[in-house]
Structure 1
């Protein structure tokens, strides 16, 4: 008996307890693309219809201060998958792999890094990813199939995802042609009539991706599964189904007329209605996943997490539209927060986040604890009772207690070490948030400091009146980052 107890103790070392749960929960993690803090009904949006996502808020918990790990696609997904903030992550901005193909995929994460998919797979979960990957091409170390997923279907390369009618999608590590006559993701029409059907082909990629996600769910319904759905909406180009466009008022677009592609991506005759339609189409896809859980009797034993990879897209040449014709000002997409995608101001990194977990999360609840993507690694591991990697730096805290209504604390600040858009550093500790821009330019900007509790829209820079706080946050950043040769940040790497 003593020998058996010793074996049991060894097995349990490094395993996170599952909060007394009798049955291993399924995990569904849905990630929108460029969805802003203010673009859902449950976050105050009044124009765009999102009933299914709003149902998650009604049935679960709404996060009021949840942050992405990075203000653009690939590094955000890296922080999510690896549990590391940008000061430790292998990917610190968008960057192509450079292997010479038309859609090469993004710079790959290495074989050494451990993803949450690998941890859950080791714990006995079936793992499937359906949507946009962005962490390395097929047949490289960054392929989702080599990073813990049993099944993958979608856009491996982010640039291929610029069109909703692409030539192919990736199925595991093979390309599958879906459109004989695909639509490129960028075009302009300086004059003449803009016709939506000119930018549509036979097969709408999001529908195929959703179908494969449903197949995975059905196949694995009798065993624990991790279903990761990094859906592509509402990232431009705008090519949503006409049926959704027709549900929104024509007068929205009467004043400004069509979008002609002057800010990149594809023209559209009704850009405001089209942007709303993309979000409603995303909402419909979320509803399909929730309905499948109901159909198979899985709802009560499934944790559903919904969030976005970063804030809504930013402005460009024509001030009437944002990139790709997105109507972010018209819809108040940031919910009044400062900045957009590509910035580390609140509008670029604060994102909607909802968690539904029947029996564990109170219906209609909310929290204002500052949390971010690195937290999901230890959170999902705890839910699964999985073992954490021993050698990998993890920068997050488990949110299991938080969503159960318990007090949660963290021992160090939230950190962003972003190499894109000129180089940006941001640090949040309690109510204080410090930002420094243009780090990789000839002349770095001065530090800015905001009290987020008093000034969530970041209108009052308090850096000059609180220099000691700025210095403390800068030192916290310096002491909690590693040099990454593929993504250097010169003024800090030389110290």
Structure 2
């Protein structure tokens, strides 16, 4: 067994990389054949990757709430904004409460430097923002999507920020985020650091690094519908390849700074893929609770602690990552805000076997041309069984034999069906209600 009692393993650095709308099969290692992702493939091989990893939601804001808080997103009002609208639509009416502990505030209290580079999407200034929720520094966008070249949101408003000041930069936004992450890593550090690198790639508009003219055609026409209609399978491939290239540069920066051996690197996606994604044969996509909407690539590298070339069947969810980071850094959670996530360290260090999990999802969404029609959905995965509710329709699937969710077993397995439905309904009673006002039902949002 690996000795983890040294000072380096007590307070390792953390680099958490979150992709945006990256589908289950969008990496070469997971079956993508139209383009290559060598750097992410290598990162996955250098540690452990999970074949049953889930996002906490099929859209972006709730999953980010889950990661930041370590809890199911519906525990707070922001988590039922699926997703949060642009500033022009919602202002600072709702966001991640500054008083709520976050992974950043908890690590900061434990002596860590904290930085967020990239997408926030958890509330707008002046009331909300990364610096109000535990991050020492921030460079990125506050809304759910920005143009890769012009750095405007879906309303055409500038959305690139340094701390709490709007800034103008020239460049492809994936590259800008990569460069800022590298700058942070190479800086002298007297304390351990936590860097969240939340790329907007491969979210629409699908503009590769050579597609500046495509971006220019949207000037004066910025809205969700036009952005969703921008791009091709080829430009999507270019977006993902640039993301992969940037991750490779960040990993090289860790080596160049001689901190790679004392840094936990975690990669995940905030939800399932979009129309150009390879969903790995799963049904559904972003915006629904079929496997294609919530099954996401996830892997963790920790040299000397996690053995390489592992593929784990352990079922995990976004807020497990939070609990695992806190455990790995010997950081105590706030007892007033109990975690829903489970510490994965015993499993990924080979000290505990794979264990069955029971996980829950609820999603209603908003009217959006990029998402499935707005309908209340719910799901439970318990062991290999999955209960799924979509509007008035209910299903029971056995994922051990039917990962593509084709065979509804609710009649044949009535007892299991009733048990999971009851567990879902009991769990949902403890969540925030969905907003009843009309705000959030407009079709122009992230």
**TM-score range with shorter-chain normalisation?**
0.7 to 0.9
CA distance in 2, matches of 1:476, 1:209: 41
Aligned to 2:384: 431
1:290 corresponds, among 245, 251, 268, to 251
CA distance in 1, matches of 2:71, 2:404: 27
Aligned residue in 1 for 2:260:
299
Matched, 1:55 2:42: yes
Task: Check the 8 A contact 1:97/1:106 in 2, yes or no.
Answer: no
Structure 1 residue 165 corresponds to structure 2 residue 150 = yes
The answer to whether 1:360 aligns with 2:360 is no
Superposition deviation, residue 396 in structure 1: 1.4
Which stretch of the first structure deviates more once superposed, 276-285 or 476-485?
Answer: 476-485
**Aligned in 2, Cα 1:297/1:148: closer, same or farther, shift over 3 Å?**
same
Matches within 5 A, 1:294-443: 294-313=255-274, 322=275, 327-328=276-277, 333-407=278-352, 413-420=358-365, 421-438=374-391
**Alignment correspondent of 1:465:** 412
Question: C-alpha deviations, 1:133-185, integer Å up to 9, x for none?
Answer: 11011221x311111100111111114x255422340111111123xxxxxxx
CA distance in 2, matches of 1:468, 1:365: 36
Q: SS of the residue aligned with 2:62? A: helix
TM-score, length basis structure 2: 0.85
> Hey, what's the Cα distance between the residues in 2 that align with 1:223 and 1:108?
29
Partner of 2:155 in structure 1?
A: none
Shift of 1:401: 1.4
**How big is the shift at 1:463?**
1.2
Name 2:371's counterpart in structure 1: none
Relative distance call for 1:345 and 1:485 in structure 2 (3 A) is: closer
2:110 corresponds to 1:123: yes
8 Å contact kept, 1:168–1:177: no
CA-to-aligned-CA distance 1:413-437 (integer Å, 9 cap, x gap): 2011223131211111100010101
Give, in whole Å, the separation in 2 of the partners of 1:272 and 1:105: 36
Find the aligned partners of 2:306 and 2:285 in 1 and give their Cα distance.
Answer: 31
Give the superposition deviation at 1:399.
0.8
Report the Cα offset of residue 469 of structure 1: 1.1
Secondary structure in 2 matching 1:363: coil
Structure 1 or 2, whichever has the larger Rg, is: 1
Q: Which residue of 1 aligns with 2:233?
A: 272
CA distance in structure 1 between the partners assigned to 2:258 and 2:224 by the alignment: 48
Q: What is the deviation of 1:19?
A: 4.9
Evaluate the alpha carbon distance shift between residue 218 and residue 205 of structure 1 in structure 2; reply closer, same or farther with a 3 A threshold. same
**1:130-169 correspondence runs (5 A):** 130-140=117-127, 142-159=128-145, 161-166=146-151, 167-169=158-160
Cα distance change of structure 1 residues 106 and 352 upon mapping to structure 2, 3 Å threshold: farther
Q: C-alpha separation between the residues in 2 aligned to 1:343 and 1:96?
A: 16
- Among 69, 76, 88, the residue aligned to 2:56: 69
**Which residue is equivalent to 2:154?**
none
Partner of 2:17: 30
Alignment CA distance shift 1:64-1:220 (3 Å)? farther
Matches of 1:203 and 1:104, distance apart in 2: 27
CA-CA distance at 1:360 after TM superposition: 1.0
Change (3 A) 1:283 1:70: same
Is the 1:93–1:418 Cα contact (8 Å) retained in structure 2?
no
Is the CA contact (8 Å cut-off) linking 1:70 and 1:310 kept in structure 2? yes
In the alignment, what sits opposite 1:210? 178
TM-superposed deviation, 1:272: 2.0
Change (3 A) 1:475 1:408: farther
Task: Name structure 1 gaps, 5 residues minimum.
Answer: 1-17, 179-201, 245-260, 314-321, 439-444, 489-495
Does the CA-based 8 Å contact 1:449-1:463 persist in structure 2? Answer: yes
> Is the CA contact (8 Å cut-off) linking 1:86 and 1:415 kept in structure 2?
no
Residue in 2 aligned with 1:3? none
Q: Partner of 2:81 in structure 1? A: 93
The 1:309/1:96 distance shift into structure 2, 3 A limit, reads closer
Aligned residues: 407
The structural deviation recorded for 1:474 is 2.0
Please give the alpha-carbon distance, in whole angstroms, between the structure 2 residues aligned to 1:367 and 1:339.
23
Tell me, what secondary structure is at the counterpart of 2:322? helix
Helix, strand or coil at the partner of 1:480: helix
Q: d(CA) in 2 for partners of 1:338 and 1:267?
A: 22
- State the secondary structure of the residue aligned to 2:206: coil
Write the deviation string for residues 280-318 of structure 1: whole angstroms up to 9, x where unpaired: 0000110111010000111111110011001111xxxxx
**Which among 384, 400, 423 is matched to residue 476 of structure 1?**
423
Distance (Å, rounded) in 2 between the aligned partners of 1:363 and 1:238: 33
